[in-house]
Amino acid sequence: MSSTEPIRIAPADGKLGILIPGIGAVSTTFIGGVEAIKRGISAPIGSLTQLGTVRLGKRTDDRTPKIQDFVPLAKLDQLVFGGWDIFEDTAYEAAVNARVFEPHHLEAVKEPLSAIRPMKAVFDPEYVKRINGPNVKTEGSKMDKANALMEDIRQFKAAHGVSRCVMIWCGSTEVFHKPAAVHQTLAAFEAGLHANDPDIAPSQIYAYAALQMGIPYANGAPNLTTDTPALLELARDKNVPICGKDFKTGQTFMKTLLAPGFKARMLGMNGWFSTNILGNRDGEVLEDPGSFKTKEETKLSVLDQILQPKLYPELYKDLYHAVRINYYPPRGDAKEGWDNIDIFGWMGYPMQIKIDFLCRDSILAAPLVLDLVLFMDLAHRAGMRGIQEWLSFYFKAPMTAPGLYPEHDIFIQLMKLKNTLRYMQGEQLITHLGLEYYD
């Protein structure tokens, strides 16, 4: 594949503001981790932008820079954090409650975390049940609330001398709902904001505020946000990148590692049963059937789209796939996920695989948040707008152009991501054909 002209990418000068709706377990683990890395207490384990490399040219060329040396990413000491939550706890207090970090890590980053006080949230108990808090905006219509968020952002930028921002939703999972008439065009959506349309969720109000201000928006939860014609239109009009949705961390990460392997070897599968116990606030919100349904949809879609039962009916047409999440407080953030996989091989002989993943949800999610904000800022400076499918690597339910099925295979996603970086810098895309080595 021949190389092209590099894309013009504006330099990553000045401070990058990271705006986070939801100062909970994931966001405090992310911020606390970045602060710990800045202080030399830890390494950025799990982060592709910090540790990953990209091969350029032929395998014989011996050119494999680090990704962060290849594309102009913001540096960790340029990041400034701010956010909103329905609780008044500082990020330090929220991190203590989340019980992700050991006390010695908490103490080491107490000062920067204590300085982050959440701004008043846009919240609607119809969309997130089981929790409620005092730190919310109560005045005016949904449009007034969007304007109030924009004012928050202006003040944040001025207070910290920030030149650019990225917003990433780390708030609770909102209840399942489908796009309604109000989501079909930007004009209908704006009319709906003025009229307090009940179909407009809080996450959509944050996204609207961000996009209006030319700020990229990433969705870490599975709820419906920018995946609507109205907000897609706004993102394109304002030349802003968007991506989502639902961080691909524990069990689904395992699924997207294993399922492509079984399919590659044409092994059949007739059952995959996944169950989880977790005891953090996320688990509590997911006890609500509406929020669980949102999560279930993104978790279930993965296998169907990887295994393509329509193309391989003799292998996958009878697949029974179930996902359960149970709230179990003693575990806190230390989730346990069990998978039982029923596969079959030559002559139809059955086999079973069991996985017991004792994982840490927020520890797995934090580096994804870091990579996403840095790549979204890069995409914006490179003039990329609308859905960033090359960031599918990070999501359980990658957003795609309408009518296009998502790519879930993590290794194809990684190849796509790295090829996008090569494309940005005018380097040859790597096809893995490799015939030239044998001429």
Ligand X SMILES: NC(=O)c1ccc[n+]([C@@H]2O[C@H](COP(=O)([O-])OP(=O)(O)OC[C@H]3O[C@@H](n4cnc5c(N)ncnc54)[C@H](O)[C@@H]3O)[C@@H](O)[C@H]2O)c1
Residue with tokens 């961000």: 210
Please tell me the distance from the alpha carbon of residue 439 to that of residue 421, in angstroms, as a whole number. 28
Please tell me the distance from the alpha carbon of residue 3 to that of residue 427, in angstroms, as a whole number. 5
| Residue of 398, 384, 392 lying closest to 416 (CA atoms) | 392
Q: Binding ligand X by CB under 6 A: which of 26, 91, 232, 242?
A: 26
Binding letters toward ligand X, positions 122-151, x by CB under 6 A:
xx----x--x-x------------------
68 versus 305: smaller Cβ distance to ligand X: 305
Q: Binding ligand X by CB under 6 A: which of 189, 247, 272, 423?
A: 247
Contacts of 408 by beta carbon, 8 Å cutoff, 6+ apart: 256, 259, 260, 302, 305, 306, 392, 398
| Residue ranges in 161-185 assigned as alpha helix (H) | none
On the question of a cis peptide bond just before residue 38, with omega within 30 degrees of 0, the verdict is no
State the nearest-atom distance from the C-beta of 403 to ligand X, in Å: 26
Question: Is 367 near ligand X (CB under 6 A)?
Answer: no
State the nearest-atom distance from the C-beta of 291 to ligand X, in Å: 8
Question: Is 281 near ligand X (CB under 6 A)?
Answer: yes
Question: Is 288 near ligand X (CB under 6 A)?
Answer: no
Q: Binding ligand X by CB under 6 A: which of 47, 276, 280, 388?
A: 280
Rg for the chain, CA atoms, rounded: 22
Question: Is 171 near ligand X (CB under 6 A)?
Answer: yes
DSSP 126: T
Q: Using CB under 6 A, count the residues that bind ligand X.
A: 35
Question: Is 389 near ligand X (CB under 6 A)?
Answer: no
Structure tokens at 359: 């994982």
Please tell me the distance from the alpha carbon of residue 324 to that of residue 326, in angstroms, as a whole number. 7
Please tell me the distance from the alpha carbon of residue 429 to that of residue 419, in angstroms, as a whole number. 5
Contact set for ligand X, span 58-117 (CB under 6 A)? 84-87, 98
Contact set for ligand X, span 172-231 (CB under 6 A)? 172-173, 202, 220-221
Structure tokens at 436: 């030239």
Contact set for ligand X, span 326-365 (CB under 6 A)? 361-362, 364-365
Q: Interface residues with ligand X (CB under 6 A)? A: 21-26, 84-87, 98, 121-123, 128, 131, 133, 170-173, 202, 220-221, 246-247, 249, 280-282, 285, 361-362, 364-365
